[in-house]
Structure 1
Amino acid sequence: MTLSPLLDLAGLTLEVNHLARGVRFYSQVLGLTLARHDEAAGVAEFTVNPHQTLTLWQPITRQAKDGRLAPLRPRGASHLHYAWQIDPDDLEPSKKLLDAHGLSWEEINLGTEDRPDWTLYFFDPFGHGLELRGIDRADSRQPHFPPVPVERPPHALPVMGLREVALAFGDYAAMKERLPRAYGLAFAKEQDDRDFAQFTLGPQAEPDGNGTPRRWLYAWDPQVGLADMLGGDHALVRFYADVDAVKELVKAAGLPYIHDEVGLAVRDPEGHVFEFIAG
C-alpha cells in the first residue's frame, strides 16, 4: 500500500469583510491568540495551538494579501465549513457560552443511537460554518500532532484545535481522481446519497467518526449540507506534509506551483490554493 505524504492540518485562511469584527469574534468567542493584526494590509493571524493557525483576510482592491503567493492568485475562503476539536465533556458547557455570546447553534448526532457522536454547529459573522466535534484523546487513531487542551479565557469556547475543513468542487468526479493523484491525499470513503468524499490527513485512509482525533479534508458538490453548511470556495488551506514527495506529484500533474524555503504552494484547477509545509 502506498502511504500518503500528507501528515496533518496546519491552518486555514478565511475571507472577511470587516477585519476588526473578525478579530473581536475569534479573540473573544474562540479565545485564539492574536499574532498579527494589520488593518492596512487587511490581515489578521491567530495562533490556534503550537501547530495550527487561523488567518483572516479582508479583500482590498488591487492589493495582494500575500506577496509570496501572489502568482497563484489566492483568496481567503468564502462561507467555509470547518470544525474544531473539543473534549466531549465541554460540549454541554459550550452551549451556554454560545448563548452568552448571542449565537444560535444546532446540535446533531453524527453517530448512532447506541454510540452517539454529538456535534454543535454555528456561524461566525461572515457566513463561515463552524462545528464543535468531541474527540477521544485516548483513541489510537492519532494525528501527526496529537490534540492537547489549550488554556482559553473563561468566556471563550474550550477548543483544542482544528479538526477538518470542507471544500466545494464543481466537478466532483475530477476532484475525486485528482486529489489522490496530484497531492497524495488518502481517500477514505464517500456517502451513498451525495457527492461527498472524505480524505484522511495522515499516511493512510481510516474511518471517520466515533471520537477519532484524526484530521480531515471533506470535499463535496456545491450543495447545502448539515445545519445549512456549505463547502468553502477558493480556499487557502495549509497542510503538514512530506513536501518533496508532494512536489513530485504536483509536477507530474502539471499544476502551477511555487516552491521556496517556506514550503510548496499549489493552485488547484477549482481555484483553491493548497500549501504544504514540513512537519
Structure 2
Amino acid sequence: MTPSPILDLAGLTLEVNHLARGVRFYSQVLGLELIRHDEAVGVAEFTVNPHQTLTLWQPITRQNNDDRLASLRPRGASHLHYAWQIDPSDLEPSKGLLDAHGLEWQEINLGTEDRPDWTLYFFDPFGHGLELRGVNREDTRQPHFPPQPMARPAHALPVMGLREVALAFGDYSAMKKRLPGAYGFAFAKEQEDRDFAQFTLGPQSEPDGNGTPRRWLYAWDPQVGLADMLGGDHALVRFYADVNAVADLVAAAGLLSVQDEKGLAVRDPEGHVFEFVAG
C-alpha cells in the first residue's frame, strides 16, 4: 500500500463572533500562548505546542481574514468538534478546573468496561465542542510530532496538543472517495451503525482509541454525535504533509488551490479549506 503523504495535524481555525472573548477563553481556560491579536482584521493566533497552533477568526464584512487565501473563500469553522490530548491522570483534576471556570461537562467511556477510555466533553462560548482525551505517551503508535507535557498556568487545563478534528460532509459517499483520492488521507475505519469515517493523520492506517497518541480526521454526514457534538462546517484545517505529493493528487482531482513558499491550500467541494505544510 502506498504510504499516505499526510504526516500530522498542524492546526485549525475557529470562527467566533467576539474576538476578545475568544482570546480570554483560550488564554484562561486552555492556557494557550497568544502570539497574535489583531482586532482590525479579526484574527487571534495561539501556540498550542511547538508544532501546533489554534487560530480564531471573527468575520468582518467585505474583508478577508487572510488575503493569502482569499481566492479560496475560507472561513473559520462553525460549531466544530475537536479534541485535545491530555495525560490520563489529569482527567479527574480537569473536572474541578472546568467547574471553577463555570463550564458544564460530560464524561463518557469510549472504551469498554474492562478497558475503559474516559473522555470529557464541554463547549466554548461559541458552540465549538471540545473534548479532553487521555493519551498514553508510551504507546508505540506515535504521531509525527509526539505529544509532550506543556507548562500551563495552574488555573488552565493541562492539555498537551490537538488530537482530532471532526468535519461534516453533506455528500458522505463522495467524501469517502475524495479524501483518500484527492489528498491522500489514510482511511482507517467506518462505524457500522452510522455514516462516520476515521482517517489516520499519518503514513499508514491504524486503529483508533485506547490511548493512542496518533492524531485523526473524523468525517461524518450532518448529524449530532456524542455529547451533542457536531461536525464543523466550512472548516479551515492545517496538516503537516509531503506537500508536493499532495499537490500532485489535488491537481489530478482538479480542485481549486494556491501554492507558495508557505505550502499548499485547497478548497474542498464541501467548502472546507485544507492547508498542507512541510513537516
Q: Same fold (TM over 0.5)?
A: yes
Partner of 2:84: 84
SS at match of 2:251: helix
Shift, 1:136, TM fit: 0.2
- Segments of 4+ in structure 1 off by > 3 A? none
> Which residue type is aligned with residue 91 of structure 1?
L
**d(CA) in 2 for partners of 1:41, 1:66:** 8
Structure 1 residue 255: Cα displacement? 0.2
User: Partner residue of 1:75?
Assistant: 75
Equivalent runs, 1:206-221 vs 2, <5 Å: 206-221=206-221
CA distance in structure 2 between the partners assigned to 1:104 and 1:221 by the alignment: 26
Deviation at 1:40, TM superposition (A): 1.0
Letter in 1 for 2:119: T
Asked if 1:260 is matched to 2:260, the reply is: yes
Aligned to 2:117: 117
Match of 2:269 in 1: 269
- Indicate the SS of the match to 1:69: helix
In structure 1, the residue matched to 2:229 is 229
User: SS of the residue aligned with 1:46?
Assistant: strand
Residue type of the alignment partner of 2:114: D
Matched, 1:142 2:142: yes
Find the counterpart in structure 1 of residue 176 from structure 2: 176
Q: Secondary structure at the match of 1:77?
A: coil
CA distance in 2, matches of 1:254, 1:87: 42
Structure 1 residue 62 corresponds to structure 2 residue 40: no
SS at match of 1:68: helix
Secondary structure (helix, strand or coil) at the match of 2:199 reads: strand
CA separation in 2, counterparts of 1:93 and 1:151? 16
Residue in structure 2 matched with residue 186 of structure 1 by the alignment: 186
Cα distance in 2 between the residues matched to 1:214 and 1:240: 13
Indicate the residue corresponding to 1:201 in structure 2: 201
The 5 Å alignment of 1:130-169 reads 130-169=130-169
C-alpha displacement of 1:203: 0.2
1:93-137: CA deviation from partner (whole Å, max 9, x where unpaired): 000000000000000000000000000000000000000000000
Q: Distance in 2 between matches of 1:42 and 1:256?
A: 25
- One-letter amino acid of the structure 1 residue matched with residue 214 of structure 2: R
* One-letter amino acid matched to 2:207: P
1:11 Cα deviation (Å)? 0.2
> CA–CA distance in 1 between the matches of 2:87 and 2:230?
25
**Separation of aligned partners in 2, 1:55 and 1:21:** 13
**Cα distance, 1:257 vs structure 2:** 0.3
SS of 1:131's partner is strand
What CA distance in whole angstroms lies between the structure 1 residues aligned with 2:122 and 2:222?
A: 19
The normalised TM-score by structure 2 is 1.00
- Partners of 2:107 and 2:251 lie apart in 1 by 43
2:53 equivalent in structure 1: 53
Q: How many angstroms does 1:264 deviate by?
A: 0.2
Count how many residue pairs are aligned between Structure 1 and Structure 2.
279
Which residue is equivalent to 1:31?
31
For residue 30 of structure 1, report the CA deviation from its aligned partner. 0.1
* Equivalent position SS for 2:34: strand
Q: Structure 1 vs Structure 2: percent identity of aligned residues?
A: 87
Unaligned runs of 5+ in 1: none
Q: CA deviation at 1:152?
A: 0.1
Q: Which residue of 2 aligns with 1:129?
A: 129
Q: Structure 2 unaligned segments of length 5 or more: list them.
A: none
Output the CA distance in 2 between the equivalents of 1:178 and 1:38. Answer: 35
